[in-house]
Amino acid sequence: MRQAIAFLGVALAVVTLFAQGQAPAGDGKGKGAGGKAGTGNVGLYQRQPPTPTGPAPKLADGTPDLSGVWLGGGSSDADISRSLKPGDSVVMLPWAEALVKTRQSKDDPESNCLPAGIPRGSPYPWRIAQTPGIYFIVFEGNIHSWRQIFMDGRKHPEDPELAWYGNSIGRWDGQTWVIDTIGFKDKFWFDYVGHPHTEKLHTTERYTRTDLGNMSIEVRIDDPGAYAKPFTTVGRARIMAGTELLEYICQEDNFDLQHISGPAQGPGGATR
């Protein structure tokens, strides 16, 4: 009996971690506790208006319209290996495996108000702005920042200036927005448990607005400096119909940092 109860407890904890691990981030499907009839939770946000329904909109020139405030992301922010395309696996090179085992939560750049990078999600919404020749992703957090994606047909520079969000060029593949990014600094962690990357990282993001309220996201991670083979994450985002982006200046008072201790870990203390 004790064995069974312990096992059930572990099962509950594991399922809860998945529920909290935002796999994908902000994937709030349910009618939430505290929600009024007809409203529900979206990620951490309660009593949100229903996700709008209808066909995916288009701009006047026929290009898919990706505007709106979105919540969600391309991978679990707790552990990227939780959001893999079926059949894929994360196989770290030995140095990366050893590094993850020594990483400490206090050193996570995201905890230090530095960018979460690609494709790490966050509990905060973001917006896509489509302007001629260049699109922007504007993040509420974390951190309060932005990405620029060149849509004018240019190629990557031969030797791009290294950046937290890299150098991004985009194109349309049918109804799917594809972003190709290289030129990363090796700074951000893929998740709370500390999966690393190198300057060889090459990401390919695919965003498809499947209908008015939903976006599917796939991100191919190719980093031969840290992983034995590429892998692809699968995530989603939903429109938050009842809100605009708000200010989230993480650097304002990052009081918690001095109190963070222990190995790099996700919610509930899960480590690699």
Partner 1 sequence: MTRSIFINVMRLPGNRLTALAARCAKCTPMAEFRAGDVYVRVMLSVLAAGLGLLALWLPARAHHSGAAVFDNTKKIDLTGVVTRVEWVNPHAHFYIDVKDVAGKVTNWNLELASPSILVRNGWKRNSVKEGDMVTVTGSRARDNSNFGIAQTIVFPDGHKLNFLSAFEDGK
**Per CB under 8 A, which region of 50-58, 150-158, 195-203, 248-256 contacts partner 1?**
248-256
Q: Which is nearer to partner 1, 97 or 252 (CB)?
A: 252
Give the residues across from 117 on adjacent strands. none
Q: Give the residue with the Cβ less far from partner 1, 133 or 268.
A: 268
Separation of alpha carbons 165 and 147, rounded Å: 7
**Would you call 100 exposed, middle or buried from its count of C-beta atoms within 10 A (0-12, 13-18, 19+)?**
buried
Indicate the pairing of strand 167-173 with strand 145-150.
parallel
Pull the structure tokens for residue 261.
Answer: 């201790």
Residue 154 has what DSSP assignment?
P
Contact 17, 267 (CB under 8 A): yes
**Residue 113 vs 163, nearer CB to partner 1:** 113
CB of 15 to partner 1, least distance (A): 6
Asked if 231 is part of the footprint of partner 1 (rule: CB under 8 A), the reply reads no
Nearer to partner 1, 139 or 231 (CB): 139
**Considering beta carbons, is residue 75 or 208 the nearer one to partner 1?**
75
With a CB cutoff of 8 Å and minimum separation 6, the contacts of 221 are 80, 119, 190, 197, 201, 203, 227, 230, 231, 232, 233
Q: Which of 124, 135, 184, 207 binds partner 1 (CB under 8 A)?
A: 124
Closest distance of CB 261 from partner 1, Å: 5
> Binding of partner 1 at residue 19 (CB under 8 A)?
yes
Name, in order, each residue with C-beta under 8 angstroms of 111's C-beta and a sequence gap of 6 or more: 105, 256, 257, 260
- Terminal CA-CA length for the chain: 30
- The tokens describing 225, both together, are 């400096």
At its nearest, how many Å lie between partner 1 and the CB of residue 111? 4
Q: Per rule CB under 8 A, is residue 4 in the interface with partner 1?
A: yes
Q: How far is CA 175 from CA 58, 100, 153, 172, 215, in A?
A: 10, 37, 17, 7, 11
The phi-psi region of residue 167 (left if phi > 0; otherwise alpha if psi is between -120 and 50; otherwise beta) is: beta
CB of residue 21 vs partner 1: minimum separation in angstroms? 10
- Which one of residues 76, 83, 122, 232 is an interface residue with partner 1 (CB under 8 A)? 122
Nearer to partner 1, 112 or 216 (CB): 112
Of the residues 111, 208, 214, 232, which one makes contact with partner 1 according to CB under 8 A = 111
Which of the residues 126 through 165 are near partner 1 (CB under 8 A)? 140-142
Among 16, 63, 89, 210, binds partner 1 (CB under 8 A): 16
Binding site for partner 1 (CB under 8 A): 1, 3-4, 6-8, 11-12, 15-16, 19-20, 33-35, 44-47, 78, 105-106, 108, 110-111, 113, 122-124, 140-142, 192, 243, 246-250, 252-256, 259-262, 265-269
